[in-house]
Amino acid sequence: MDARERRWLYVLIAVFVLVNVITLSPLVPWQKWLLWSNPEPQARFTVEFKDYTIQLPAGGIQASAGEFVEFTAHSADVTYGLGVFRKDGTMVFQIQVLPGHENRIVWKFDTPGSYDVRSTEYSGPQHSKMFYPDAIRVTQ
Amino acid sequence: MTTRLGWIEKWTLRFAVVGLLFLALSGFEGILLRIQQHDLKILQPMEEVLNSIRPVADKPSSAELYYSMMTAHPIVGIYGFAYLCVFGAFYFLVPFLLKKEIRHKKLVSANFWLQIAGVLICWTSGFFGLFNALYTLYWPLPVSYEQGVPLLGSIFFSVGAAIIMVNILLFSYNIFSTVLSKSNPRSYSYWQFLRSALGISRLMKWLGKEDKNAPNLDYNGLSPFVVAVARGSIDTVINAVVLLTAGGLILVYGLAKLFNVVLPPGAVDALAYKNWFWWGLDMVADGNVLIYTAGVWYLLIPLLVGRKLFGESVVRTVIMVDLLVSLGVWSHHLLADRTQPLVMRLLSGQFVTWGEFFTMGLTLFASLMTIWLARPVKLTAPLKFVLGSMFGFMMGGAAGLIQANVGLNVVFHNTQWVIALHAHTFLLTGLATLLFAVIYALVPMLTKLEIRSQRLVNLHLWLWLAGCVLMTYVMGRAGSLGMLRRTLYETPNQFQPYTLVAIIGSLLIALGFVAFLVNLVSTLGWTNVLSLVVPDRWLEKRKAAAEA
C-alpha cells in the first residue's frame, strides 16, 4: 500500500470511529435508554393494528414528561408501522409492527403536549389514512 | 452518416436504446408520482381516461393507481433501464478486454427479449392489474387478497419478476462462462473461481496452507474491470435466486387462491421473510451496483486520462472486500424492527454497512488520484459524467450511512430522506450518470462516430445534476422534517412547498435527458438508429433502390 493510500485509510478510520462513537453515545438522547440501559417503564400501553385501523387503549394514551413508557404493538394481518409525531409533523420515534410478533419500544417524552400517531409502513393503498391526531397526551 | 455496425456492437446499442426508453418511461412515472404526491386529485382527469381501458369492474381509487405506479416504477428503472444498459455494456466490454468472443451468442438476444418481456409483464400487472404491494413485497402484503391486493395482478407480477430473475441468471452464466473459459491466461472451474472470488485462497495462503494449484483471480492477468464484473456477478446471482424464491412463494399462494385453496399467510414468518428478502435485494443495492461501478471507474478513467490506474493492487483487494461486505449488510433495512436482535442491527445493520464507506472511500481515492496524477487532463464527455457519478455516490453514500445508524434510524426510517437523498441520489446522480458516461465512451468505440454536440453534452450534464440535486435534497429536507415515503398526505399540508420544488427538479432532469437523446440521435443518425430494429436486408434493399 502506497503511503498516500495509507494516510487516506487513516482518515477513513478516524471518520468511522468518530461518527460511530458520537451516534452510539448518549449524545443521541434516546440511546441512553434504547442502548445503554434497560429502564423499568412506569406505564405500559398496547396498540392493536388490524385492517387499516389502529386501536388505541380504551382510556387513550396519557403519560407524564420524563417518565418511561412502554408501547407494545400487534398486527393481526400485514406489516404496519407505529410512528409518533409532534404537532409540527416532525417524528419522535417509530417502530415496525410485524404480524405474529410482539413489537415493543420504551420511550421517554421530554416535552408535555399532544402527539399524533401515524402508521409509518406501507400496508396497502389505504395506509395513508391511518392517522390519529392527538392520540398521545403528555402532561408535566 | 451511416456506419457498418458489427454483430455485438449492434446488440450493445440495442440494449442501450431500449434501456434508455425504459428510463424515459420510469422518469415519466416519477414525474407523475411527484405531481400526485403534491396533490393527489390533480391527475384525476387523466385517470378517468386511462380507467376506460382498464379491464376492472370497479373504478380504482387515485391511491390505488398511485401505489400501482409506484410498484412498477423501480422495476422499470432498475431492471429495465439499468440492467439492460449493463447487459449491453458488459456483453461488449468483457469479450473486448479478454480478446475473445462471448461464449453463448444465442443467449445475448434471449437476454434482450426476456428482460423486455419480464419488465413489461411487471409493468402491465401494475397498469392493468393494479398490483400495488410495492417492490419491498413485505410478507404477507402481496398475498393479502382479502385486503384488496388484486389476485391476477399479483400472479402476473410474480411471473414477470420470475422471468427477469431467470434472465439475469442466464446473463450471469454467460458472463461467467466467458470469463472462466479455457482461453484465459489460466482457466478456472466454477468452484475454484468461487473460492478465489471470496478470498478463501488468499486466506489459506495467509494461514500458511496455500494451495499452489489454486488460480488467483487477482493476479492472473485479468483487468480490475473484469475482476469486478466477475465478483459483482456473484451478488447478481444471489440477488436473482433470492428474489426468485420470494416471487415463487407469492406465485404459489396466488395460484392456490385462484383454485380456491386457502394457504395461511401466517405459515411464513414475516421477520424471517424480511431478512431473506433484504439479504437478496441488498446484493443489488449494496452489492453489484457498487462493485460494477468501481469496475467501470477502474476501466474508464485510465482509458480517458491515459494513465495506469493508481493503486491497482489495493483496488483488487477492495473489490474482494466489497463482495464480502455486501453479503452482510442487509440488517440496515431492519433497524426499525425491534424484533430483529440488537446484535444483528448493530453488527450487520451499522458496522458492516460502514465497510462500504471504506471500500467506496478507497475506490474513489484510487480513481481521483489517477485523474490527479494524469494532469493536465482533457475534460471529455465521459470524464465529466464519471466525475458527476462520483459526486452522486459520495452524496448518496453519506446519506445512507446516516440512516443506517441504530440511533438515527429511529427518526429517518421510511422517510423521504431514505428514498430521495439516499436511493435517488445513488440511482440518478450516481448510477445513471455513470451509465451516461459509458454510453458517451462506447458510442465512438462502437460506431467510429464522434458525439455531435459538446454544447448538448454540457447541457445534459448540468441540467441532469442540478435537477437531481434539487429534487433529492429538497425531499431529503422534507424527510428530516418527518415526511414519510409511500404516504399520501391530505392537502393542504406542510410538505407541499418541498414537493413543488421537487417537481421543478424532476422537470430539469427530464430536460437534461431530452438534450442527451437529441445529441445521441443526431450523432448516430436515423439510419443507424433504424438499423438497430430493422433487418439489414431491408436497409440494403432501400439503399439499392435509392441508388437506382
Do the Cβ atoms of B246 and B137 come closer than 8 Å?
yes
Provide the residue range defining the domain that includes B476. Answer: 382-548
ipTM for the whole predicted complex goes beyond 0.95: yes
**What pLDDT shows up at residue B6?**
85
**What pLDDT shows up at residue B542?**
76
Name the least confident of A119-123, B56-60, B454-458: B56-60
- Provide the grid cell at B427: 440511482
**What pLDDT shows up at residue B15?**
97
Tell me which residue of B356, B294, B295 sits closest to B325, measured CA to CA: B356
Tell me which residue of B137, B112, B113, B138 sits closest to B125, measured CA to CA: B137
Chain B contact set for A52 (CB, 8 A): 147
- The answer on pLDDT for B185 being more than 70 is no
- What average pLDDT score do residues A106-114 get? 97
On whether any CB of chain B is under 8 Å from the CB of A132, the answer is no
- What average pLDDT score do residues B477-500 get? 97
Query: Which A positions 82-111 lie with beta carbon below 8 A of chain B?
Result: 83, 85-86, 88-96, 98-105
Greater pLDDT, B202 or A70: A70
Q: What is the mean pLDDT of chain B?
A: 93
Q: Is the dihedral of CA B519, B520, B523, B528 positive or negative?
A: negative
Q: Is the dihedral of CA A36, A40, A41, A45 positive or negative?
A: positive
Q: How far apart are CA A23 and CA B417, in angstroms?
A: 18
Count of all residues that appear for chain A in the document: 140
Pick B141's closest partner by Cβ from A95, A102, A124: A124
Contact (CB<8Å) A78/B147: yes
Instruction: Return the domain boundaries, chain A.
Output: 1-38, 39-139
Residue B436 lies in a domain: yes
Q: How far apart are CA B228 and CA B316, in angstroms?
A: 8
Residue B179 lies in a domain: no
Number of structural domains, chain B?
A: 1
Residue type present at position B134: L
Pick B405's closest partner by Cβ from A23, A91, A125: A23
Contact (CB<8Å) B148/A124: yes
Supply the DSSP symbol for B220.
S
Residue type present at position B283: M
- The answer on pLDDT for B531 being more than 80 is yes
The H helix count followed by the E strand count for chain B is 22, 0
Do the Cβ atoms of B101 and B58 come closer than 8 Å?
no
On whether any CB of chain A is under 8 Å from the CB of B492, the answer is no
Do the Cβ atoms of B401 and B357 come closer than 8 Å?
yes
**What pLDDT shows up at residue B207?**
83
Do the Cβ atoms of B362 and A9 come closer than 8 Å?
yes
**What pLDDT shows up at residue B509?**
98
Contact (CB<8Å) B495/A89: yes
pLDDT digits (tens, 9 = 90+) for B303-322: 999 999 999 989 999 999 99
Contact (CB<8Å) A124/B147: yes
Interface test with B, best of A20, A47, A82, A105 (most B CBs within 10 A): A20
Q: How far apart are CA B391 and CA B38, in angstroms?
A: 28
- The answer on pLDDT for A27 being more than 70 is yes
Contact (CB<8Å) A4/B369: yes
On whether any CB of chain A is under 8 Å from the CB of B335, the answer is no
Residue type present at position B509: I
Query: Which A positions 42-71 lie with beta carbon below 8 A of chain B?
Result: 51-52
Chain A: closest CA distance from residue B433 (Å): 25
- The answer on pLDDT for B190 being more than 90 is no
- The answer on pLDDT for B1 being more than 60 is no
**What pLDDT shows up at residue B540?**
76
- The answer on pLDDT for A61 being more than 90 is yes
At B187, the pLDDT band (50, 70, 90 cuts) reads: low
Name the least confident of B149-163, B169-183, B188-202, B276-290: B188-202
Rg of chain A's alpha carbons, rounded to an integer? 19
CA separation, residue B355 to residues A123, B78, B323, B399 (Å): 32, 24, 10, 15
Contact (CB<8Å) A79/B271: no
**Closest residue of A to B315, CA-based?**
A1
Chain A: closest CA distance from residue B333 (Å): 11
Greater pLDDT, A128 or B3: A128
Percent of chain A clearing pLDDT 70 (strictly above): 100
Contact (CB<8Å) A91/B482: yes
pLDDT digits (tens, 9 = 90+) for B381-391: 999 999 999 99
Greatest CA separation for chain B: 78
Percent of chain B clearing pLDDT 70 (strictly above): 96
The end-to-end CA distance of chain A, in Å, is 59
- Provide the grid cell at B523: 450523432
At B442, the pLDDT band (50, 70, 90 cuts) reads: very high
**What pLDDT shows up at residue A68?**
97
Residue type present at position B517: L
Residue type present at position B185: P
Q: Give the Cα-Cα-Cα angle B483, B489, B493 (nearest 5 degrees).
A: 80
Tell me which residue of B324, B394, B375 sits closest to B352, measured CA to CA: B324
pLDDT digits (tens, 9 = 90+) for B76-125: 999 999 999 999 999 999 999 988 899 999 999 999 999 999 999 999 99
pLDDT digits (tens, 9 = 90+) for B200-254: 878 887 888 776 666 666 656 788 998 899 899 999 999 999 999 999 999 999 9
pLDDT digits (tens, 9 = 90+) for B350-372: 999 999 999 999 999 999 999 99
- Provide the grid cell at B177: 462462462
Tell me which residue of A118, A50, A126, A123 sits closest to B64, measured CA to CA: A126
Pick B486's closest partner by Cβ from A98, A103, A122: A122
Chain B contact set for A30 (CB, 8 A): 407, 410
Q: What is the mean pLDDT of chain A?
A: 96
At B196, the pLDDT band (50, 70, 90 cuts) reads: confident
- What average pLDDT score do residues B505-509 get? 98
Residue type present at position B131: F
Q: How far apart are CA B68 and CA B29, in angstroms?
A: 11
- What average pLDDT score do residues A22-27 get? 96
Q: Count CB-CB contacts under 10 A for residue B283.
A: 28
Contact (CB<8Å) A85/B482: yes
Residue B296 lies in a domain: no
User: Does B140 sit behind a cis peptide bond, omega within 30 degrees of 0 on the bond before it?
Assistant: yes
**What pLDDT shows up at residue B147?**
82
pLDDT digits (tens, 9 = 90+) for B2-41: 566 788 999 999 999 999 999 999 999 999 999 999 999 9
Q: How far apart are CA B172 and CA B44, in angstroms?
A: 43
A-B Cβ pairs (cutoff 8 Å, strict): 156
Domain covering A39-139 in this structure, CATH number: 2.60.40.420
**What pLDDT shows up at residue B214?**
65
- The answer on pLDDT for B323 being more than 80 is yes
Contact (CB<8Å) B406/A35: yes
**Closest residue of A to B61, CA-based?**
A125
Residue B45 lies in a domain: no
Tell me which residue of A30, A56, A41 sits closest to A118, measured CA to CA: A56
DSSP state string for A26-37:
TTSTTHHHHTS-
Residue B407 lies in a domain: yes
Pick A90's closest partner by Cβ from B63, B139, B482: B482
Q: How far apart are CA B414 and CA B485, in angstroms?
A: 6
On whether any CB of chain A is under 8 Å from the CB of B497, the answer is no
- What average pLDDT score do residues A79-101 get? 98
Pick A101's closest partner by Cβ from B339, B407, B486: B339
Supply the DSSP symbol for A111.
S
Name the least confident of B134-138, B178-182, B250-254, B525-529: B178-182
- The answer on pLDDT for B460 being more than 70 is yes
Contact (CB<8Å) A12/B271: no
On whether any CB of chain A is under 8 Å from the CB of B273, the answer is no
